[in-house]
Structure 1
Amino acid sequence: MITTDPVHGVPCFLDLGAPDVQAAAAFYGSVLGWEYEAMQGGEEMEGAEDMEGGMFRKDGKVVAGLGKLTEEGARSAWMIYYNVTDADATTQAVEKAGGTVRTAPRDLGEWGRMAQLSDPLGGQFAIWQPGTDGGVELVDAPGALSWTELYTSDPEAAKKFYGDVFGWSYSDMELPGGGGAYSLITPADLPEERMQGGIMGLSKEDLALAGGKPYWHPVFDVEDCDAAVAQVTGNGGSVQMGPEDAEGVGRLAVCVDPAGADFVVLTPVKS
């Protein structure tokens, strides 16, 4: 399970780059019950007054960020940030393991230090060395992040890369119907109860959302998967898969928002 415990290599934040910030805020408000709080520029972070975006909250707690998609040619997508003890050292580890640096480590005021990176096949992720801001305040609860997934055409290469960078360990489970293996991710030096995500192998043709490149996406806990899917389709989004029941996991659906960013909604099995 994902927690807010700031351990190296665990998901600690996520944000969405959207072409229309207000439209994205309305969509996720309908689907996940989020409230959007626009950033107040000026004193808190240098350059904030020039940025369009803010934070999503659920029950008053930060669950994600939202910003204007400004990179030319980039697709709207969720970016997952992983907690690190040293952003510069982790960036060097990424380069040594064959990854690339998209945004070099930089300070965001007193909040923390971040960098945006890619794995050797182009899967994008980010790292966060916390200062005064540790990241999201609510996880593993309805309307919050509960899991992360990487879809990639080379799962073995991905496992080696992220293992070298973050020290992750893995356990594989066979997918039903001969669908291959799904690799469960556990952070370094933590028990399997702290599994935080999975790696799934797909063909490049099945990675069309990212032009054949790997991509990470978030899984959000919801109280009623079918009701959440109805909100997705009723507000201009679409469904790639589901809703369907996954034994031992829960009821889930792979969704795409109106701007093309993918995510999963999951009503977990009650323990």
Structure 2
Amino acid sequence: MPAVSTIHRQGDLVHPELVCADLAGDCDFYAQLFGWEYTPGVVGPHYIATIGGMDCAGLAHTVTRADKVPTGWGPYLAVDDPDHVCKIIVECGGNVAMAPRNIGEFGRIAFAADPFGAVFDLWRGGPVPGTHVIGEPGTICMAELITPDIEKSKIFYSTIFGLEFAHHSAGDTSGFGTVDTNGLQLVISPRTTESARDRNRWLVYLGVTDVAITIARAVELGGVLVRPESTVHGQRTALLGDPHGATVGIVELAAQT
């Protein structure tokens, strides 16, 4: 499995987490879909998903966010000083859903939203700097921001985290932006519909060995297909809805040779 750096730059994608109302039901769904096992988190009700004994994701009940953050998957992004970054977020037109707080040895976290309402989390790691494994089946491989204004979103996240997004044209659309963080890709994409499923938000993508097989298994377990299998940003992907309404992306990993 790819080694994960214990020293993160500002804006690195360090951990995916699901906020949900049915914690037991979602734990069971993702365990059967990705083979996850679980250990109790520090602030409950909360679980850390593991693969091969290595942390790969978090699942938290909505009460852990005081119902201030919408349900669904989202990314934790690394920061050196959550308190200072929260001030910059507000100055740049975003808002802080939950002020910075300490979570034991895990460090200090905060929950925020950009000017268009997309929610993301901040993490200043302690001895535990983030997820332990990336880029493997059942682990985070990419995060995508769906936004109505790519350029304004690029300016916001560049100001907050110092990220430099590369711009890519995409036919007759406004294109999309990408930046590599922690060996993973952050993508900013245009919102293309007014569907509630396509609201302004961050999407988390988990790796799979075969997109089609994973779709079939998810549906068998009570999930739904939100966006059909297709090639997006050069990668084979799809969007799934879990049985309780959260959307998660899957991306097909290159076969190991």
TM over 0.5: yes
Q: Is the 8 A contact 2:136 2:253 kept in 1?
A: no
Q: 1:270 to 1:197 in 2, by over 3 A?
A: farther
Q: 1:236 corresponds to which residue?
A: 222
Could you say if the C-alpha distance between residues 170 and 270 of structure 1 is closer, same or farther in structure 2, counting changes exceeding 3 Å? Answer: farther
| Counterpart residue type for residue 26 of structure 1 | D
Q: Quote the sequence identity (%).
A: 26
Please list the CA deviations of residues 33-55 of structure 1 after superposition, one character each: whole Å capped at 9, or x if unmatched: 2112234xxxxx5xx4xx22211
Post-superposition CA distance 1:49-74 (Å, at most 9, x none): xx222110111110111111235586
Q: Which residue of 1 aligns with 2:22?
A: 20
Counterpart of 1:59 in structure 2 is 52
What letter corresponds to residue 241 of structure 1 in structure 2? Answer: R
**What letter matches 2:197 in structure 1?**
L
Which of 173, 182, 193 matches 2:176?
A: 182
Quickly say closer, same or farther: Cα 1:22–1:139, change in 2 above 3 A.
same
Correspondent of 1:209 among 164, 180, 197: 197
Ranges in structure 1 where 5+ consecutive residues have no aligned partner: 40-44
1:259 to 231, 244, 257: 244
- How many equivalent pairs are there? 251
Q: Does 1:159 align with 2:154?
A: yes
- Pairing 1:90–2:88 present: no
Task: State the 1:239 CA deviation.
Answer: 1.1
Is the CA contact 2:68–2:98 (under 8 Å) kept in the aligned structure 1?
no
Instruction: Check whether the contact 1:19–1:76 (CA below 8 A) recurs between aligned residues.
Output: yes
Distance across 2 between alignment mates of 1:236 and 1:91: 38
Instruction: Map 1:95-106; keep pairs closer than 5 Å.
Output: 95-106=90-101
Q: Give the Cα separation in 1 of the matches to 2:79 and 2:68.
A: 29
1:198 aligns with 2:187: yes
For 2:164 and 2:26, how far apart are their aligned partners in 1? 35
Residues 107 and 125 of structure 2 are in contact (CA less than 8 Å); yes or no, is this contact kept in structure 1?
Answer: yes
**8 Å Cα contact 1:113/1:129 also seen in 2:** yes
When residues 3 and 179 of structure 1 are mapped into structure 2, their CA distance, relative to the original with a 3 A threshold, is: farther
**Matched letter for residue 30 of structure 1:** Q
Matching residue of 1:37: 39
CA distance in 1: counterparts of 2:138 and 2:4, whole angstroms: 15
Separation (CA, whole Å) in 2 of partners of 1:164 and 1:94: 9
Distance 1:195 1:184, change over 3 A: farther
Distance change in 2, residues 1:246/1:161 (3 Å)? closer
Distance 1:247 1:269, change over 3 A: farther
Q: Residue 80 of structure 1: CA displacement?
A: 1.0
Aligned to 1:221, what secondary structure does the other structure show?
Answer: strand
Which residue identity does 2:31 align to in structure 1?
G
C-alpha separation in 2, matches of 1:122 and 1:223: 33
Q: Deviations over 1:189-237 (max 9, x none)?
A: x9xxx4621001114614x137x4x100111111111111111111111
Report the alpha carbon displacement of residue 246 of structure 1 after superposing the two structures with TM. Answer: 4.6
1:116 corresponds in structure 2 to 111
CA contact (8 A) 2:209 2:255 kept: no
- Tell me the residue number matched to 2:213: 227
CA distance in 2, matches of 1:103, 1:171: 31
Deviation of the 1:247 alpha carbon: 7.3
- Match of residue 125 from structure 2: 130
Corresponding residue of 1:42: none
CA contact (8 A) 1:10 1:196 kept: no
Would you say the 8 A contact 1:168–1:186 is kept in 2? no
User: Which amino acid counterpart does residue 232 of structure 1 have in structure 2?
Assistant: A
TM-score by length of 2: 0.89
Counterpart Cα distance in 2 of 1:247 and 1:160: 21
Q: Distance in 1 between matches of 2:85 and 2:158?
A: 12
